[in-house]
């Protein structure tokens, strides 16, 4: 080989080596970018931000694009300061139109997180909304609505939400958005709603007319007049999106304009399966009654004896202006179906889809409990969850409610396993849930393939973000240590209130450390500070049933909310069983507080949720963080 050929060959080798290095670097960068994207999908925003930071340094040609991704990831992780810092590193001249729009949206969201609503409006005004992708377009209108709400411009806020509605694919989210539009407009004066109302068929005009119509519902006792006004509204706005929940304004669903009752009848059983629960509720009710300046005449009726319909008419004949109870679902249903309810009833249980005029339902519903823990877990950034629940009817009902709320909020249920609550060994459902048997199967296959023994450690699945555990304290003290034994130590666990006995027991509840659950405020002195708080009553020597403390709190609230029944659809009441609101089905919903076991003691967590009242700030926060 002559000298020229050798030089040419050497150059080729160097060129090939350089190409190989470049291809390898590109391959590594691609892997890092995919890993960062996957981390974002899993809610691991801090990790994704770090990967995007590294890519910004290693890929100078795309540095600004990766810095933008890093800033977005930092903001989603809750670190707005780092997000703001990365924004300053970006040269906007290198960005595409879509990227510039995202950058301005992120800047506006950061401004809103600092309470700088006017600055945010200026930043949002330079965004070309139609050029955004769907997810960012939704965030844009959420941010715009929130910014206008903060600056005292409810009409502009409502208009932004009107533009948001067609972008929402989930029916529940659309209905929630519609409710926020109404809640935004209802505080406006009748003069504003009438004089500033755009003419039909303008969508905002329709919402303003609906808000004014609901004001007349609040002040008028004439249901026929309200129905006539509603029919007139439908003719003016036949294609309006509010028609989706016009059924909630039917006469059957219009709550009574409650007056302060001077005589109250309580329908509680003195025998049968609900007698013990009824006695505890009665104790809570009378305790609240004795502490109150408002003391109407009380009469107690045994709802376990005779016809409930006869009892209802008897109580009315004897002067009752409000009925509290009954407790059993079959008797509530008998009243709803069997007679016109001329005197209002506050039933102490809940039957889904039962709506009747003058019937309000109030109880310790598992619907509220499932919703609260689902919202808490989602707010904590979890997306993919495992369910471990009792095979009992109560356990299956809780699992169903949780699944409905979790999926409605965009989460994924990876797998559900049930256990026998009478068993002592829960290893099999736990192993099935964590896919440990699959791990063993892969090990055996590999061992057969290699033909030699291998060291083996069971590996649990790693696609889950969290676990929902529905159980009582006794069973939880057995299940949770077994979960840790099977290497689920880093999997956050969430539970409904049944996991807590209601009384601090650190020596036994050490086994429940790090479990998060949502429960009634009355059990926590920091959450319910009142003369009827658990701590205050204990100081006065009040005795309680250790088995059912929540029923005592239900008794307290069933008396205390009497004076607030007419305002619960607008103004939540801070009760012992939660922040109480009246929903569109005439059910009193409960907003709970959340706690985590630390050193065997439940410690309140910073968790604010106004789902029942459809708080504008919560919905904004859910969509930007």
Q: What does the DSSP 8-state code read for residue 500?
A: S
Q: Whole-structure pTM over 0.75, yes or no?
A: no
**319 confidence band (pLDDT: 50, 70, 90):** very high
Taking 50 as the threshold, does the pLDDT of residue 24 lie above it?
Answer: no
Are 429 and 449 spatial neighbours (Cβ–Cβ below 8 Å)?
A: no
Q: What tokens appear for 65 in the block?
A: 């694009």
pLDDT of res. 258: 61
- Averaged pLDDT for residues 322-337: 93
Helix axes 63-76, 45-58, angle to 10 degrees: 170
Taking 70 as the threshold, does the pLDDT of residue 491 lie above it?
Answer: yes
pLDDT of res. 27: 43
pLDDT of res. 535: 86
Sheet holding 345-347, edge to edge: 297-302, 263-268, 322-324, 345-347, 359-361
Give the integer Cα–Cα distance in Å for 624 and 620: 6
Q: What percent of the chain has pLDDT over 90?
A: 30
Nearest in space to 112 (alpha carbons), one of 145, 138, 134, 82: 145
Q: What is the CATH number of domain 366-519+592-624?
A: 3.40.50.2300
Give the gyration radius of the chain's Cα atoms.
30
CATH topology match: 21-170 vs 366-519+592-624 = no
Could you tell me which residue, 485 or 279, shows the higher pLDDT? 279
Are 453 and 447 spatial neighbours (Cβ–Cβ below 8 Å)?
A: yes
Q: What percent of the chain has pLDDT over 70?
A: 82
Please give the CATH topology (third level) of the domain spanning 21-170.
1.25.40
Nearest in space to 500 (alpha carbons), one of 534, 539, 469: 469
Give the integer Cα–Cα distance in Å for 129 and 133: 9
- Render pLDDT for 141-197 as a digit per residue (tens, 0 to 9): 989 988 888 888 889 999 999 999 999 887 778 877 887 888 788 778 888 888 999
Taking 60 as the threshold, does the pLDDT of residue 297 lie above it?
Answer: yes
Taking 80 as the threshold, does the pLDDT of residue 477 lie above it?
Answer: yes
Written as one string, the DSSP assignment of 513-567 is TT-EEEE-GGG-TTT--STTSHHHHHHTT----SS-HHHHHHHHHHHHGGGGTTT
What is the rounded average pLDDT for all residues in the chain? 80
**249 confidence band (pLDDT: 50, 70, 90):** low
Sheet holding 579-582, edge to edge: 573-574, 579-582, 588-591
pLDDT of res. 435: 66
Give how far Cα 229 sits from Cα of 185, 250, 489, Å: 18, 12, 60
pLDDT of res. 284: 94
Give the integer Cα–Cα distance in Å for 506 and 311: 46
- Averaged pLDDT for residues 471-485: 82
Domain ranges, ordered by start, for the chain: 21-170, 180-253, 263-361, 366-519+592-624
Nearest in space to 588 (alpha carbons), one of 552, 621, 560, 619: 560
Angle at 173 between CA 169 and CA 178, to 5 degrees: 115
- Render pLDDT for 404-455 as a digit per residue (tens, 0 to 9): 889 888 888 888 888 887 877 767 777 777 764 444 444 344 445 444 454 4
- Averaged pLDDT for residues 593-619: 66
Taking 90 as the threshold, does the pLDDT of residue 308 lie above it?
Answer: yes
Handedness of CA 70, 114, 380, 622 (dihedral sign): negative
- Render pLDDT for 184-233 as a digit per residue (tens, 0 to 9): 887 788 888 889 999 888 999 989 988 888 776 544 445 567 778 888 88
Q: Which CATH number does the domain 263-361 belong to among 3.40.50.2300, 2.60.40.10, 1.10.3720.10, 3.40.47.10?
A: 3.40.50.2300
- Render pLDDT for 358-400 as a digit per residue (tens, 0 to 9): 999 999 999 999 999 999 999 888 989 999 998 888 888 899 8
């Amino acid at each position: 080989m002559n000298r020229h050929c050798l030089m040419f060959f050497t150059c080729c080798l160097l060129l090939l080596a350089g190409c190989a290095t470049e291809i390898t670097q590109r391959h590594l960068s691609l892997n890092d970018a995919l890993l960062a994207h996957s981390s974002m999908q899993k809610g691991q925003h801090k990790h994704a931000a770090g990967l995007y930071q590294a890519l910004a340094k290693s890929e100078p040609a795309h540095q600004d694009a990766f810095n933008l991704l890093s800033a977005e990831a930092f903001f989603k992780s809750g670190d707005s300061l780092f997000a703001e810092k990365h924004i300053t590193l970006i040269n906007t001249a290198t960005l595409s139109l879509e990227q510039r729009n995202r950058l301005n949206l992120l800047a506006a969201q950061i401004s809103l997180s600092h309470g700088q609503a006017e600055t945010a409006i200026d930043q949002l005004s330079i965004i070309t909304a139609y050029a955004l992708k769907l997810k960012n377009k939704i965030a844009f209108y959420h941010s715009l609505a929130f910014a206008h709400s903060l600056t005292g411009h409810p009409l502009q806020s409502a208009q932004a939400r009107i533009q948001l509605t067609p972008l929402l694919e989930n029916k529940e989210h659309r209905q929630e958005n519609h409710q926020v539009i109404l809640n935004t407009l209802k505080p406006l004066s009748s003069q504003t709603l009438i004089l500033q109302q755009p003419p039909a068929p303008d969508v905002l005009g329709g919402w303003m007319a609906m808000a004014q119509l609901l004001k007349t519902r609040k002040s008028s006792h004439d249901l026929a007049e309200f129905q006539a006004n509603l029919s007139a509204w439908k003719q003016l706005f036949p294609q309006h999106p509010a028609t989706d929940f016009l059924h909630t304004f039917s006469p059957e669903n219009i709550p009574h304009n409650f007056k302060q009752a001077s005589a109250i009848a309580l329908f509680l059983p003195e025998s049968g399966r609900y007698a013990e629960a009824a006695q505890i509720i009665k104790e809570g009710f009378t305790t609240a009654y004795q502490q109150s300046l408002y003391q109407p005449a009380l009469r107690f009726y045994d709802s376990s004896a005779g016809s409930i319909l006869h009892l209802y008419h008897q109580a009315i004949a004897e002067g009752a202006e409000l009925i509290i109870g009954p407790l059993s679902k079959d008797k509530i249903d008998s009243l709803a179906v069997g007679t016109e309810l001329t005197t209002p009833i506050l039933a102490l249980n809940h039957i889904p889809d039962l709506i009747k005029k003058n019937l309000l339902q109030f109880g310790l519903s598992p619907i509220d409990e499932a919703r609260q823990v689902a919202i808490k877990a989602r707010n904590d950034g979890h997306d993919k969850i495992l369910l471990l629940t009792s095979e009992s009817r109560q356990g299956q009902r809780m699992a169903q409610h949780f699944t409905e709320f979790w999926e409605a909020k965009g989460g994924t249920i990876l797998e559900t396993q049930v256990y026998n609550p009478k068993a002592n060994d829960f290893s099999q459902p736990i192993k099935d849930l964590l896919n440990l048997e699959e791990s063993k199967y892969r090990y055996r296959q590999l061992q057969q393939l290699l033909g030699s023994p291998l060291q083996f450690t069971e590996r649990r699945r790693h696609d889950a973000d969290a676990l929902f555990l529905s159980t009582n304290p006794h069973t939880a003290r057995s299940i949770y240590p077994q979960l840790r034994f099977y290497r689920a130590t880093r999997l956050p666990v969430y539970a409904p209130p049944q996991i807590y006995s209601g009384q601090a027991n650190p020596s036994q509840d050490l086994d429940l450390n790090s479990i998060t659950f949502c429960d009634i405020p009355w059990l926590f002195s920091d959450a319910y500070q009142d003369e009827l708080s658990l701590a205050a009553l204990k100081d006065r020597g009040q005795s309680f049933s250790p088995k059912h403390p929540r029923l005592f709190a239900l008794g307290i609230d069933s008396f205390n909310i009497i004076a607030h029944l007419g305002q619960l659809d607008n103004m939540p009441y801070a009760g012992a069983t939660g922040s109480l609101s009246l929903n569109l089905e005439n059910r009193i919903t409960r907003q709970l507080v959340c706690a985590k076991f630390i050193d065997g003691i439940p410690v309140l967590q910073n968790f604010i949720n106004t789902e029942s009242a459809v708080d504008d700030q919560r919905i904004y926060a859910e969509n930007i963080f």
